[in-house]
Amino acid sequence: MDKIIKTDAEWRAQLSDMAYKVTRKHGTERAGTHEDFPKEPGTYMCVCCGAPLFDQGAKFESGTGWPSFYQPVDAEQVGETVDRSFFMKRTEVHCNRCEAHLGHVFPDGPQPTGLRYCINGVALEFEAEE
């Protein structure tokens, strides 16, 4: 996979203020901000680099207020790191292509994986199937 590397100024120029805060500075958007995602078949792409991250078929309603998926399109595209902020230990997920912070993964999702990828909606762009 080709890595995408840009300067902070280039990311700032490309992204909205909230997308920059979340993806480049490890922020979190307010819950319920992106409840209007499409329902048709398609793929959720990284807002920073366009890498395919999650399929609509793996999306589920978690009740958390953030888009949730039980698996990525390709496990190679989504990386994990330990996040010890806020006096907790969580597993952060990021785009392996550009290192964009996406959200966190938790072991309380539905089958078949039992995982809940809790993703900031502002980190995603939806591409409908053609």
Q: Which listed residue (46, 49, 98, 118) is catalytic?
A: 118
**Rounded (10°) CA dihedral 8, 11, 12, 18:** -120
In one-letter notation, the amino acid at residue 94 is H
Known active-site residue 48: no
Residue tagged 């597993």 (tokens): 91
- DSSP alpha helix (H) spans, the chain: 8-14, 17-25
Nearest to 101 by CA among 43, 53, 39, 35: 53
HSE-up (13 A, CA, CB side) for residue 59: 20
* Residues with catalytic function: 118
